[in-house]
Structure formats: C-alpha cells, structure tokens
Structure 1
Amino acid sequence: MIPVTGGRVWVDRLLRDGRIERGVLLEADAAGTVVGEQVGRSRPDDALALDLAVPGFGNAHSHAFHRALRGRTHESGSFWTWREAMYRAAARLDPDLYREFATAVFSEMLAGGWTAVGEFHYVHHRPDGSPYPDHAMELALADAAEAAGIRLVLLDTCYLAGGIDRPLSPEQLRFGDGDAGRWLRRWRSLSAALAGRSPLVTLGAAIHSVRAVPREDIRRIAAELPNDVPLHIHLSEQPAENEESLTAYGLTPAAVLSETGALGERLSVVHATHLTAADIRLLGDARAHAVFCPTTEADLGDGIGPATELVQAGVRLAVGSDQNAVADALLELRGLEAGERLRSLRRGRLSPEVLWRIGSEGGYGSLGLETPSRLGGPLDLVELDDSSLRTAGSRPEQLALTATATDVRRTVVGGSVRTLAPDTAETLAGVVRRIFEDPQVPARAGADPDVAGTNAEESE
C-alpha cells in the first residue's frame, strides 16, 4: 500500500471555469483531497509552487496493454491485422509482466497530462480461462497505479461471448467468467481485496458491449451492481455492432441498454460513434456520459461520433486514450474539436472552455470521481508551459487547442508531483520486444484476413 501524503500547492495562474485566477493556494489532507482554498495569496514558503496550471485530466477509457501495439500496426488498413496483434499481446500477459508494463504505461500517461485513468480491464484469467489466485491480474494493475502515482478507477469488465449467440473464441477465453452471476461474485471479491489500499485506487465496473454480454446478463448486472459504482460499456463503435443487435433483438445497442435498465446517470458509453437520433435522445434523457477516444477512433477508422448533438441532448462528454496510440490528454481534446469541425464544416463547435471542462470534470465525473482541484475533490493539477515553440503567443484559455504533452511541465496527483522514471522508455520497449519478438510465441494459425475482416465488430 502506498499512502497519499497530501500537501499545499500554490498556483500563480490557475485556469478554471474559462478564466485565470491568480495566487490560488490549495491544501490537501492525507488522502489528497482538497480541504482548503484561498485566492489572491502570495506564495507561502512551504507550498509547492506552479506557474500556470489547469485541473487534472481524467482518462475515461484505457486499455493499458494495447500500448504494445503502438508503431506495429499502423501500416495496414485492415482492422483484422490490428485485432490479431491485440490478441497476441493479451495472450502473453501474466501478472508480473502486466505489473511492469502497466507501471510504465501509467507513468507515460502522467507525463502526457492524465492524472486519473479508467482502466477498462478484461484480461482476468490465464490464457486457458482458468483463474489466477487472489485476483492477481487486477492487483497487478493496482500495484502499477500506486507505483506510478496515477489515480486509478479499475473498470473490471464482464466479457462473456464472442458475439451475440456466439461463444468466446480461444483467444478470448481468459476474458470470460461464464455468466453474470459468476462475474458479480468475482467483482464483489475483488472489491473486498482492494479495500484498505491507497486512496489512489478505486473499483468501477464495465460491460464489454451488447454483443459480448447477453441481454439478460446485462439486465442482471444493472440490477445487482451497487448504484454508486460507475458502469462503462463500448457502444456502437462500428455499424456492424448495430446490425448484429438489430438482427438479434430488434433494438439498437442503446435501446438494449434502456430496455435492460442499464441506461442511467452512472453509465458511460464509450465511442458512441454510430448512433441514431433516437439513440441520442435516449442517452440525453438518461444524463449518461459519452467517452470519445479521438486518436483511436481515427487510427482504427471507426468514424466520428456526434459530439455536439450529444451535448445538446444533455449527455456529458469525456475523452480517453483507449488503445494508447498516443498518451496525450491535450491531443485527445483537440481531436474532439477537430472531428466536430470536419464533420460539420464549421469552427468553434466545442469552445476551449467546454474542452477544459470535458477533460477534467467530464473525465472525473465519468469515473465516479469528484471534480479535481476544488473543495472536496482531489488535488490533481497539470502545469503547462505557455511559452514553448508550440504555445508562444497563445492565450492561456486557448492552450487546449495549441499545447501538447510536450508542454506538460509537471503533473500533481493528491498534492504531490509525479515524476517520470528515467528508464520508462526502456521498460516499454523491453516489454514490447518480449511480447512480439519472442520466437517461442507463434502467430495464431488459420486466420483468413479476407474472411475475418468482415467481423470487425468484434473489436477490443
């Protein structure tokens, strides 16, 4: 267990609510929660001093092990090629390797401006589907978050089928728990195992997708999961997912969530790319969250979701890094607005003030966390350089559209600066080599890209 020590942080220029506040002193308790705030203060000698800072960014959707695919799948236009590489990476993971890799991935996220992460985790068991003792894979992720110093919401994921009315494939066996009842029992046991650890780590939940969890299992999870637990799900990432749901149930995936009682304020739908007007109304009426992952959705050719329409309907937006093709909170926010401009042929769809709110309040809210850098919320901040080659001359309020991870000077989580270990890049490269270049790991036999490419709905 790694405690959060709290502290005092003084910010010369704090960008909140679309404006600069000068001389803000924030004080955190031992759990890293803001318990005191003063504005217009001169710098105290005993406080950590930041120049220009914004509230921390919440990465509302991550698959940490997908980081292994960066720079190894981008040459192909085939979704199948990417998915085969993803399965191979998943097959190599064990608790020790995942702890090492995730520590480095979470450290890279901190350097890229993310102060909290929702890890959409489904690699639960051994490759043959038999369980590890004592939640070894889940606790490896908790260990990694504590070692890196990032705030983790572990979104333990129910994954039961390879598609509607299709069993898990051999590559997916380690993801499954058999049925919702067994997943719920394991989730409750994991909750007990995580109790008493660092306040950096909390437990959430996820349903992989409408195609990977049967409708009645979704209904049971929605009814039996505690009401205060954030619940996430991949939704309508690709048209084929919608077609499969309509064929099986006569309902879109969003309508399935409504019919089963899963749709509500605690639900976050990830991607939400291919929605009908009725889907958007359902999500808005429920006050759900929608998590866009612009760099991944572009890299995989998924499409551009209706962000503005969702906001107008009452949906709360957040962003995530998903496959971690990049680890850059600012690029995800910029990509969200860029997608809106490309889709609408208009500028200024989501103002910089709205983007800042999506990055911090939206991401943290999706993860069931209080808004950062406010009384009662975590003392999480990102210090930015507004005088770099990229940002020189920018108004601070518009840095969401000019800055990148390179302009992150320091990240503060729970009142403490989190620093990047000097060997993080070496660790990342070493793990990726072990995953993809070990001669004892054969490629999966029998794959026919021309046939398998039609099954692109079986993503992630």
Structure 2
Amino acid sequence: MKSFWCEQAWLPDGIASRVLVRADRGTITSVSTVDTIPLGCERLYGVVLPGFANAHSHAFHRALRGRTHSDGGTFWTWRDRMYAVAERLTPESYLHLARAVYAEMAIAGVTAVGEFHYLHNGGNEMGEALRQAAVDAGIRLTLLDACYLAGGIGQPVTGVQERFSDGTGERWAARVAELREDGNTRVGAAIHSVRAVPRETLSLVAGAFPDRPLHVHLSEQPAENEACLAAYGLTPTELLHEAGALTARTTAVHATHLSTKDIGLLGSAGTGACFCPTTEADLADGIGPARELRDAGSPLSLGSDQHAVIDPLLEARGLEHGERLRTGERGRFTPADLVAALTNHAAVGWPEAGRIEVGAPADLVAIGLDSVRTTGCAADQVVLAATASDVAVVVSGGKVVARNGVHETLGDVGKLLKAVV
C-alpha cells in the first residue's frame, strides 16, 4: 500500500486541497481530503495532475534534435536525415536510445507513450527493444506497429525504406500478431500514411486488429493531399473513410490540412486527433483546425512526435497558442480542455488511466508553484505557465520514477542521452 498527500490535486470535478491518494499494486484505492497528514506518506507539493500521455512518438527521431536547421530545408529534406539515422540503428543501439528518450519523457511527467513504430528491420526485435526501454524508464508503452509498404503513392520502397516494409499487408498482420501484451505494454496498429499504404491494403490494416487502437499520419503536408487527390480523386481523409479506417478507436495524427468535409467525417466517426504542436512548428507543417475537430466530435490528444522538445506542458500550451495565432482569439480551449488533451490515455489504449480517482492507475505529476515561471499563477491555470522544468515528482503506477528532473533508477538523463546520441 502506498499513500500520497497532495497539497492540491486536479480531480475529475476540479482542484481540491489536502488530498490523500492511496494506492495498492499500482492502482488508486481511495481519494479523500484530510486535515492531518498521515505519517509515512509521500508529500507532493504544488498542484498534482494525472500522469501525462504522449500519444505520438518516434523514439529514434530524438537523435536529430538540434541537427537539422543549418540550411533551412523542408519536411522532405528533414526526412532524408531521419532516414540516415534509421539506417544505422540495431536492436541493441535502439534499446539504449529509446531507454534514454523514455527516461526524458518520464522526468517531464509522461506515464504512457504511444510509439508509432515503423522501424521493423524485418522482424520484432526492434519492437522488443522498445518494450524493454519503456520498462526500464518506468512508463507504460503502446506499441503502434505501422504498416509501411510503399515509398509514395504508386512507388516501391527504396533504400532504408526497405527496413520499414513487410512486403504485403498480410505479412505485416502476421508479424504484428506475434507481438504479445503484458502489464506494461499494449499493442496497437498504424497505417503509416496513405502515401505508404496502397488503397487496396487500407481496409486490411484497418480491420486486422479491431479491438486495438489504430493510428495514422493524416494530411501533415499539402503535398500528401495533392498526391492523394491526383491518384484517387479523394482527400486522404475521404480515402480512409472509404476503407472503413475512421472509427472511435482511430487517432489521426497531425490532421493539419483538412477540408470542411474532412473535419465532418473525422468528427462524426468519433476519430481522435493527435496534435504535436512543437513538431508541427519545427517542420513548418502548419496549424491544424483543433477547435473545429473537437467541436465536430473528435477527442484531442497530444504528442511530441520527433522530439524537437519533450515537454508535454509546452505541447498543451502550443495547442491553445496555435488556435490564438490562426484565429486571433484567446481562450479557444480552457485550461481544463488542455489538461484533458494532456492526459488522454484512451488515445493509446489505456482508457482506465488519466484521472485521479479510484480504479485508475496511480499516475501523479506534481508541478511546483514556486519557480520563476509559476510563482503567482493560479493552480487551475498552471498548464499555461509551467514547463517540464517545473515537474517536481512523477509517480507512475504507484512508484516514484523521477524527482526534480532526475530519474530515480537511471539517474541523470542528460548524461544518458549524451552517451547514446
């Protein structure tokens, strides 16, 4: 049995003070307010939020941080550099890199990550490396194994892309079926994009694992839309709708360049939208219609994608700031809306998580209210003031995994990253 006393806690019905959270075997068993702090419990000061969900990650992209800006370039030239990193990785080196990246997430408050995994290397060894890396870092993993069969619409895979491909949709499904879930890892599926999965295979991938999350890169670049319209006379969203890929278990990642019809199709299906504001800014992707999607019926989640920054609080703030920039209006999302996106574990197949209530995993993120960034801010607006530097204590599954930017078992994450990057 573990006990955590929270100076203030973000509960489902609002912020409460002097909250005692008890947990057994990683699950919250009681939540109450107390006048006297019990002996032996962990004290969490500031405001305590549920653990954060990073709904979209490519762990190996972290090796590119700060190395792609010298000549400006485009999304497509950035992709060439990403391919160069992918070509070098082995299961062993990927384990070391992903462990460091997931540890960086842990100290920032992430307690579950959706890893959009297409670096298959001909088998499941790379996926197993990711599984072990998450265990070592103390966060839960959803391995979203991506089907990747083409180098573009009507184009074969070439070069390093061959490491991403299983050759056919049937072979992809057979390989993914060999992946096993456990207490720390769940398995989902992904359509890499309409560029990488042919029209005739989309339905197979969408229906291969009907009880698991399905993610897809969607309309990140205008060139993707243009190619899809030229080849099929449909937008990528319309093509996915035709294939039966838009459901409530689906999450569309980026969803940046959408038509009004696209937004309606996504919302009416209950398909989620994962925004990655720091990556979308870094790659000059654009700003997607987040508020319109939410209003249409699409639940929102957040991801750090290529890890130009690993700071979930900045991603949440970026969601609102993007809306302000494109509309000229403030308050497009309330702080509570941003926290809901920040803690949307259902997007990665952990629907029981993301709340401080009985039956949920004991995932807690204590954010200090006494730093140069947060001093004076209202507790219920901390998401619009704090950064990962203000994350004081992170609890995942009832276990403290990080304190003040240092990982409890892996130590100094900066040194860990330096050794592998």
C-alpha displacement of 1:94? 0.5
Pair 1:98-2:94 in alignment: yes
Q: Give a deviation string over 1:336-385, Cα, whole Å, max 9, x none.
A: 1110000001111111111111111x2x0111112322222211111001
Q: Distance in 2 between matches of 1:256 and 1:313?
A: 19
Q: Give a deviation string over 1:118-158, Cα, whole Å, max 9, x none.
A: 01111111xxxxx35xx211111111000010111111111
Q: Distance in 1 between matches of 2:323 and 2:22?
A: 38
Q: Distance in 1 between matches of 2:224 and 2:204?
A: 22
C-alpha displacement of 1:423? 4.0
Pair 1:111-2:117 in alignment: no
What residue is the counterpart of 2:39 in the other structure?
Answer: 45
Q: Is the 8 A contact 2:11 2:357 kept in 1?
A: no
What CA RMSD, in Å, does the superposition of the two structures yield over aligned residues? 1.5
Q: Distance in 2 between matches of 1:291 and 1:235?
A: 10
Q: Give a deviation string over 1:213-241, Cα, whole Å, max 9, x none.
A: 1122110122231x220110000001111
Pair 1:206-2:190 in alignment: yes
What residue is the counterpart of 2:205 in the other structure?
Answer: 221
C-alpha displacement of 1:66? 0.4
Q: Give a deviation string over 1:57-91, Cα, whole Å, max 9, x none.
A: 10000001100000101233212432122111101
- TM superposition score normalised by structure 1: 0.87
What residue is the counterpart of 2:245 in the other structure?
Answer: 262
C-alpha displacement of 1:41? 5.8
C-alpha displacement of 1:245? 1.1
Pair 1:74-2:69 in alignment: yes
Q: Distance in 1 between matches of 2:412 and 2:371?
A: 25
Give 1:92's aligned amino acid: R
Give 2:353's aligned amino acid: T
Q: Distance in 1 between matches of 2:395 and 2:191?
A: 31
Unaligned runs of 5+ in 1: 1-5, 126-130, 433-460
- TM superposition score normalised by structure 2: 0.94
Pair 1:89-2:70 in alignment: no
**Residue of structure 2 aligned with 1:371, choices 353, 356, 364:** 353
Pair 1:246-2:233 in alignment: no
Matches within 5 A, 1:12-411: 12-17=7-12, 19-30=14-25, 32-40=26-34, 42-51=36-45, 52-79=47-74, 80-125=76-121, 131-132=122-123, 135-191=124-180, 195=181, 197=182, 199-225=183-209, 227-360=210-343, 362=344, 364-369=345-350, 370-372=352-354, 373-411=356-394
Aligned residue for 1:154, secondary structure, equals strand
Unaligned runs of 5+ in 2: none
Aligned residue for 2:43, secondary structure, equals strand
What residue is the counterpart of 1:453 in the other structure?
Answer: none
C-alpha displacement of 1:269? 0.2
Q: Distance in 2 between matches of 1:241 and 1:7?
A: 50
Q: Distance in 2 between matches of 1:92 and 1:346?
A: 45
Instruction: Tell me the matched-pair count.
Output: 411
Q: Give a deviation string over 1:430-457, Cα, whole Å, max 9, x none.
A: 322xxxxxxxxxxxxxxxxxxxxxxxxx
Q: Is the 8 A contact 2:12 2:357 kept in 1?
A: no
C-alpha displacement of 1:287? 0.8
Q: Is the 8 A contact 2:191 2:206 kept in 1?
A: no
Q: Distance in 2 between matches of 1:324 and 1:299?
A: 10
Q: Is the 8 A contact 1:254 1:282 kept in 2?
A: yes
Aligned residue for 2:8, secondary structure, equals strand
Q: Distance in 1 between matches of 2:364 and 2:207?
A: 36
Give 2:162's aligned amino acid: L
Identity %: 51
Moved segments of 4+, more than 4 Å: none
Give 2:8's aligned amino acid: R
